[in-house]
Homo-oligomer: A and B are copies of this chain.
């Protein structure tokens, strides 16, 4: 059903159109969109017209195509992951108020950490995290916490693939990462000084669902100072509060 001569389904083509947009290129002409999605202009134009009619895409004042707010609404209103974000928000605000730098909530998706939320303080240290952005599991503190508690086959697959360095401090030797993951499971937190940027330290703790499975990582990005470790207690305290809230019956 609905297959093009090249055999890809219509849904595949719609996904390629949606994937063409990113934070650096939020508005595209039909020609740019067709090139990025690797589709004929006529197909792109026809699909865009239908997606605009349903509000999933929209045309801006210059007739360029953008992602529509209706797509966000459909994706958000029944998302279990965003229910987690909603419960986590007050605890993230607590962390941010106490630590005064960036606070993030990340979940495992594929072989990366996907950030559901990020709160920032004005004038805080550099931070590569973006909401709806991703980082590799081995390089970020949140990613390492999620990898430490991931199913073994995923862990082995990540360790078997090349581990990209961001700075000289990024751990890229699989055996060293393996020991790091054991330490994280044992100590209950990850502390990554300068792994992604020499000026920043990431610290993360796991968040467990009511069945005890790690469902997310709560993390902060603070200056790369010798006393960065002092924030671990704040994160652990907030994670315990969040886990208790996740166990409580939901308010109406």
A residues at B contact (CB < 8 Å): 1-2, 9-12, 14-15, 18-19, 21-23, 25-27, 46-47, 50-51, 54-56, 60, 66-67, 69-83, 86, 89-90, 93, 107, 109, 114, 119-122, 130-133
Residues of B within 8 A of A27 (CB): 80
B9 with A11: CB separation less than 8 A: no
Interface centre among A60, A77, A107, A120 (most CB of B within 10 A): A77
Copies in the complex: 2
Task: Tell me the nearest residue of chain B to A12, going by C-beta.
Answer: B54
Interface pair B90/A67, CB less than 8 Å apart: no
Given the complex of chains A and B, what is the CA–CA distance between A217 and B77 in angstroms? Answer: 20
Among candidates B2, B74, B109, residue contacting A10 with C-beta atoms closer than 8 Å: B2
Q: Known: A2-B1, A2-B2, A9-B50. Contact between A71 and B75, CB under 8 A?
A: yes
CA distance A14 to B71 in the complex (A): 12
Q: How far, in whole Å, are A114 and B121 apart by their CA atoms in the complex?
A: 26
Are B72's CB and A79's CB within 8 A?
A: yes
